[in-house]
């Protein structure tokens, strides 16, 4: 009887010991499998002017190869609309604006720190018409020949603001104002021209270059509108300031600037 008792007691001790080892092993495995800070996935939201779409998507691919733990999510749109979203508390990590005044509002509000902002790029304003157009529109003054023309809503779309300035300065605005079809951003202007829903549109040169359905009829002289400046900055309330700073710096490196140039942008330095 005693032998049976000792045997049972020994088996119980062995099972308890094995169970303890198993739990320790699982704890060690769980600890080893837990990702380090450098391996944890971080998502950044970048609000950017619609005209930057192709260049930024190109840069995103190369950036994520070097920083696989940082996922870039873009929110493209009109700079004015994006600025208002940020002012109203939208969760954004970086802002890349095509309008200096919209960007400066966020700096003045304290949303972007002065040491974490950069005037990075320039662009040109151009008049585009559909390929094969027979309207004879070869200059901005020729817009009086159009039945419909498109530009971005000046209050929200920087390209629309520059377009209106140009037309006012060459004394054409009053003659064409009633023919204008307003668009939410420059890409929509481009779409209207490509589909021939309008006879002409005013966009950035970078947008015109990506389309095979439009041709550039004329370029606006620099003295007819305010300077076109693209500014980028880190939002002060970013939940991932370290990673936001990394992407901010990456946008300014030599390879990124070459990519911007490839898409028609101009460096400001």
Q: Which residues are annotated as a binding site for molybdate?
A: 51, 79, 159, 186, 204
Q: Are 198 and 237 in contact (CB under 8 A)?
A: no
Residues of the binding site: 51, 79, 159, 186, 204
How many Cβ atoms from other residues are within 10 Å of residue 17's Cβ? 10
Strands (E), the chain: 42-49, 70-77, 94-97, 112-122, 125-130, 149-152, 180-183, 200-204, 214-219, 229-235, 266-267
Whole-angstrom distance, CA of residue 189 vs CA of residue 156: 14
- Distance between CA atoms of residues 79 and 122, nearest Å: 15
Strand order in the sheet with 42-49: 70-77, 42-49, 94-97, 229-235, 112-122, 266-267
Residue 119: DSSP 8-state: E
Alpha carbon distance, N-terminus to C-terminus of the chain:
94
CA distance 259 to 266: 11
The token duo for 5 is 């008792």
């Amino acid at each position: 009887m005693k032998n049976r008792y000792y045997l049972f007691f020994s088996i119980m001790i062995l099972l308890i010991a094995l169970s303890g080892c198993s739990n320790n092993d699982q704890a060690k495995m769980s600890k080893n499998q837990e990702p380090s800070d450098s391996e944890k996935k971080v998502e950044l939201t970048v609000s950017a002017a619609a005209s930057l779409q192709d260049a930024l998507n190109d840069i995103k691919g190369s950036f994520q190869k070097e920083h696989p733990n940082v996922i870039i999510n873009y929110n493209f749109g009109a700079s004015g609309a994006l600025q208002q979203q940020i002012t109203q508390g939208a969760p954004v990590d970086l802002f890349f604006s095509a309008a200096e005044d919209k960007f400066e509002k966020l700096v003045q509000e304290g949303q972007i720190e002065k040491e974490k902002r950069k005037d990075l790029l320039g662009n040109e304003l151009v008049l585009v018409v559909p390929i094969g157009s027979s309207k004879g529109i070869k200059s901005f003054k020729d817009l009086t020949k159009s039945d419909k023309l498109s530009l971005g809503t000046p209050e929200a779309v920087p390209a629309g603001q520059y377009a209106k300035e140009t037309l006012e300065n060459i004394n054409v605005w009053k003659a064409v104002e009633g023919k204008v079809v307003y668009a939410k951003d420059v890409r929509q202007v481009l779409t209207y021209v490509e589909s021939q829903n309008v006879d002409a549109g005013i966009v950035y040169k970078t947008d015109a270059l990506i389309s095979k359905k439009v041709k550039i009829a004329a370029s606006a002289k620099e003295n007819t509108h305010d300077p076109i400046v693209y500014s980028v900055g880190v939002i002060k309330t970013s939940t991932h300031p370290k990673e936001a700073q990394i992407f901010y710096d990456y946008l300014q490196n030599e390879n990124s600037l070459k990519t911007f140039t490839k898409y028609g942008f101009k460096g400001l330095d």
